[in-house]
């Protein structure tokens, strides 16, 4: 791949890590094996799910602590760094991060040249709040030779502010690392998509940004995962298929990352970013203090 152009093969890896410290090494090896398959198939940017090396359903904070590692010193980190260097690819992966006594549900971006950056999940889901600290790094976008890459994790995409803030910083693609869980029905419509698929599609469409969303599958302690991994174009529609809930799979899309920098061809008068009415939004920010609202 010529790094001066923006053509990229993106791969999202959907698999089934298992929680439990006895599974950590197998999870890591499994993630590397699938990432290797993607690299052999020409992927330049590979996205693994949230908490790809640990599984998801910790039972206690102590258990979460045991699974966590330092960034970038930890063993999974080192393995992913080695992998990215060896295969000359960019890799986004989710892991439990330890920083002193705090734990974060984090995502890292590594590349051929080493560690690029990390993101700490800002919106914590359910019992994650019992062991993780809410992310404190904002919503960073990382400049790389292939384009500008943002990261978000799972429940984050329920908050339209997240893809918006990533896009406003110029993200060409958002890597969305997920453990989308089986929530109250309805889960899927007739097309096999879940609401998370649509949140991903509309976030891409409304922000004119690519989104590569990797979810996991399988079951842990009675909780099931939704699959539904997908890669969207900047128009929001899936490129290729949306994965089902019962398949380990790798999805690919060949895209021109920097095409996200051109306005969508609607007409000569509209642009999704330029048309924002920041004047009105800002004058209404006070409404976030409306007495009707929980803060």
Interface with a second copy (CB under 8 A): 122-127, 129-130, 134-135, 138-139, 155, 158-161, 164-165, 168-170, 183-184, 186, 189-191, 195, 198-199, 201-203, 205-206, 235-237, 265-267, 269-278, 280-285, 287-288, 290, 292-295
Rounded to whole angstroms, how far apart are CA atoms 60 and 261? 44
Q: Residues 69, 97, 118, 121: which is the catalytic one?
A: 121
Give the nearest distance from C-beta 164 to a second copy in angstroms. 6
Give the nearest distance from C-beta 159 to a second copy in angstroms. 6
Nearer CB in complex with a second copy: 72/192: 192
- For 118, phi then psi, to 5°, come to -140, 160
Give the nearest distance from C-beta 212 to a second copy in angstroms. 18
Nearer CB in complex with a second copy: 161/246: 161
Give the nearest distance from C-beta 175 to a second copy in angstroms. 19
Nearer CB in complex with a second copy: 91/243: 243
Q: Residues 50, 69, 128, 220: which is the catalytic one?
A: 50
For CA atoms 138, 88, 96, 94, give the dihedral sign: positive
Strand partners, 94: 107
Asked if residues 109 and 117 have their Cβ atoms less than 8 Å apart, the reply is yes
Rounded to whole angstroms, how far apart are CA atoms 228 and 243? 5
Residue 154: active-site member: yes
Helix (H), strand (E) at residue 83 = helix 75-87
Nearer CB in complex with a second copy: 77/157: 157
Residue 175: active-site member: no
Q: Residues 118, 154, 194, 228: which is the catalytic one?
A: 154
Q: Which two tokens stand for residue 184?
A: 């109250």
Residue 129: active-site member: no
Nearer CB in complex with a second copy: 100/294: 294
Asked if residues 217 and 248 have their Cβ atoms less than 8 Å apart, the reply is yes
Give the nearest distance from C-beta 65 to a second copy in angstroms. 19
> Under DSSP, is residue 148 helix (H, G, I), strand (E, B) or coil?
strand
Q: Which two tokens stand for residue 267?
A: 């007409």
Could you give the angle at which helices 161-168 and 195-207 cross, rounded to 10 degrees? 30
160: Cβ contacts below 8 Å, ≥ 6 apart: 203, 206
Residue identified by tokens 């090494």 is 25
Residues designated as active site: 50, 121, 154
């Amino acid at each position: 791949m010529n790094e001066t152009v923006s053509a990229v093969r993106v791969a999202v890896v959907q698999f089934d890590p298992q929680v439990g410290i006895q599974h950590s090494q197998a999870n890591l090896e499994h993630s590397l094996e699938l990432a290797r398959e993607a690299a052999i198939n020409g992927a330049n940017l590979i996205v693994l799910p949230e908490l790809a090396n640990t599984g998801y359903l910790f039972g206690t904070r102590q258990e979460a602590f045991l699974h966590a590692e330092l960034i970038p010193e930890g063993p999974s980190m080192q393995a992913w760094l080695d992998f990215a260097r060896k295969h000359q690819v960019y890799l986004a992966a989710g892991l439990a991060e330890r920083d002193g006594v705090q734990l974060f549900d984090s995502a890292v971006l590594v590349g051929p040249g080493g560690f690029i950056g990390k993101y700490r999940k800002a919106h914590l889901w359910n019992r994650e709040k019992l062991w993780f600290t809410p992310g404190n790094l904002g919503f960073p976008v990382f400049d790389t030779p292939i384009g500008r890459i943002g990261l978000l994790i799972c429940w984050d995409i329920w908050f339209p502010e997240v893809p918006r803030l990533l896009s406003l910083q110029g993200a060409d693609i958002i890597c969305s690392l997920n453990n989308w869980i089986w929530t109250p029905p309805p889960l899927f419509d007739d097309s096999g998509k879940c609401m998370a698929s649509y949140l991903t599609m509309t976030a891409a469409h409304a922000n004119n940004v690519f989104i590569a969303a990797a979810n996991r599958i399988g079951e842990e302690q009675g909780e099931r995962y939704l699959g539904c991994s997908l890669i969207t174009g900047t128009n929001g529609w899936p490129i290729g298929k949306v994965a089902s809930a019962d398949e380990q799979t790798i999805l690919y899309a060949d895209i021109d990352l920097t095409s996200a920098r051109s306005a969508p061809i609607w007409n000569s008068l509209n642009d999704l970013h330029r048309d924002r009415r920041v004047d009105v939004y800002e004058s209404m920010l006070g409404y976030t203090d409306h007495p009707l609202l929980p803060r």
